[in-house]
Amino acid sequence: MKYDVIIIGAGAAGMMAAIAAGRCGRSVLLLEHNKNVGEKIRISGGGHCNFTNLNTSYKNYLSANPKFAISALSQFSPNNFIAMLKHHKIAWHEKEKGALFCDDEAWQIVDMLKAEMDKVGVKIRTQTKVERVDKIPDGFSVSWQDETVSSISLVIATGGKSIPKMGSTGFGYKIAEQFGLRVVEARAGLVPLTFDPSILSQMSAMSGVSLDAKVSCNKISFEDAILFTHRGLSGPAILQISSFWREGQELVINLAPNVDVFEKLKAARQENGKREISTILAEFLPKRLAQLIGNSFEGRIADVGDKVLQKVGERVNEWRIKPVGSEGYRTAEVTLGGIDTRDLNAKTLEAKEVVGLYFIGELVDMTGWLGGYNFQWAWASGFACGQEA
């Protein structure tokens, strides 16, 4: 059986490509190794899918060439996706900073995409793990176990390496190498960071504590919640910075971004010198954290000099910490790196040197910040490719 288009991987990008190609009248076969399509969509955004971000621009992406995203993003914008939701009567809301979530369950989006694929006759085969791809004279052949199918165009939408138990295989990188495309080294992104056991033992009482903080590394900062875990730090601000952090680098964390702690302590000493430092810190820090920091400076604040207060201020406003690593692909929301954009056409996502072969979604070296940018790239790159494939 020969199709116009075969798409490997029924995630966000693969399904959008199938819809776009089907709407153009192409016969489409979508192959998925999991039992169900769109597994990552279903669990995303805490079960409510942060499906896009109204502020999407190429500036929200990490890549060797973020501007590569401009063409695809301009072909399918957040408003195009919102129009699909409206058509399917799926309610949504803006949570913060342009991030849009479903009011109800994330599976509504999977159902919407399935309905759209159904409308244009996309054939879906799940529980099919593609093992081999070959170039044939008039297209490509795709094989698994004892079956082979072929197509004129082939779209690789197999995602990155994050969360292997959800079907991530790294298969797409092998196909890229097979056809001579360059691959930017992959690494885990949007991932909790881990600390050395000696630091963890000092912080064991902090596990579960969360607070708003400003986290900086490599000249970029994010202000959002951080969460102390039994392995290190997590929470949105840490996930964001993890994509910019490299092993061996230090994070600078301001645990009270709206308070100049040195000034605050000096003023408190003047007002009432009988209080302890931890009591004053607890006015703007979670109690357990205030105790951890304050307890190393025991005694009445009246007995403490400026030098010590300055040290306390630095511990809060400029906490410097060197993670030892990250939790890796096991918990990473995304994979940084991927198919080198220099080898792809920005308008269509087709390989420059292999006519009819396309790479889309997370597999490409284009990784969004936290906040719906990754799905927007998946929809946009899928749409751009499906129009052409």
Interacting residue ranges for ligand FAD, rule: CB under 6 A = 8-14, 31-34, 39-40, 43-45, 49-50, 129-130, 157-159, 162-163, 167-169, 171, 333-334, 361-363, 372-375, 378
How many angstroms separate the CA atoms of 58 and 116, rounded? 27
Instruction: For ligand FAD, give the closer residue by CB, 98 or 325.
Output: 98
Instruction: For ligand FAD, give the closer residue by CB, 163 or 316.
Output: 163
Instruction: For ligand FAD, give the closer residue by CB, 6 or 280.
Output: 6
How many angstroms separate the CA atoms of 294 and 280, rounded? 9
Virtual torsion, Cα 301, 306, 307, 311, nearest 10 deg: 60
195 conformational bin, left if phi > 0, alpha if psi -120 to 50, beta if neither = beta
Instruction: For ligand FAD, give the closer residue by CB, 165 or 274.
Output: 165
Beta bridge partner(s), residue 123: 29
Provide the CB-side half-sphere exposure for 281 (13 A, CA).
Answer: 28
Q: What is the CA radius of gyration of the chain?
A: 25
Burial 119-129 (b: 16+ CB within 10 A, else e): ebebbbeeebe
- Provide, rounded to whole angstroms, the least separation between the CB of residue 268 and ligand FAD: 42
- Provide, rounded to whole angstroms, the least separation between the CB of residue 136 and ligand FAD: 19
SS3 175: helix
Instruction: For ligand FAD, give the closer residue by CB, 280 or 380.
Output: 380
- Provide, rounded to whole angstroms, the least separation between the CB of residue 33 and ligand FAD: 3
Instruction: For ligand FAD, give the closer residue by CB, 33 or 114.
Output: 33
Q: What strand order describes the sheet that includes 220-228?
A: 319-321, 251-254, 210-217, 220-228, 232-234, 193-194, 325-326
Instruction: For ligand FAD, give the closer residue by CB, 66 or 167.
Output: 167
- Provide, rounded to whole angstroms, the least separation between the CB of residue 139 and ligand FAD: 18
Instruction: For ligand FAD, give the closer residue by CB, 323 or 371.
Output: 371
Instruction: For ligand FAD, give the closer residue by CB, 279 or 331.
Output: 331
- Provide, rounded to whole angstroms, the least separation between the CB of residue 305 and ligand FAD: 49
Residue 246 DSSP code: -
Residue 267 CB contacts under 8 Å (≥ 6 apart), including other chains: none
User: Quick one: tokens of 379?
Assistant: 């929809």
Burial 100-109 (b: 16+ CB within 10 A, else e): bbbeeebbbb
Angle at 153 between CA 149 and CA 156, to 5 degrees: 85
- Provide, rounded to whole angstroms, the least separation between the CB of residue 62 and ligand FAD: 12
- Provide, rounded to whole angstroms, the least separation between the CB of residue 374 and ligand FAD: 3
Instruction: For ligand FAD, give the closer residue by CB, 166 or 267.
Output: 166
- Provide, rounded to whole angstroms, the least separation between the CB of residue 273 and ligand FAD: 49
- Provide, rounded to whole angstroms, the least separation between the CB of residue 338 and ligand FAD: 10
- Provide, rounded to whole angstroms, the least separation between the CB of residue 106 and ligand FAD: 8
Residue 209 DSSP code: -
CB 33 within 8 A of CB 164: no
Q: Using alpha carbons, list the distances in angstroms from residue 26 to 61, 117, 133, 151.
A: 31, 12, 20, 11
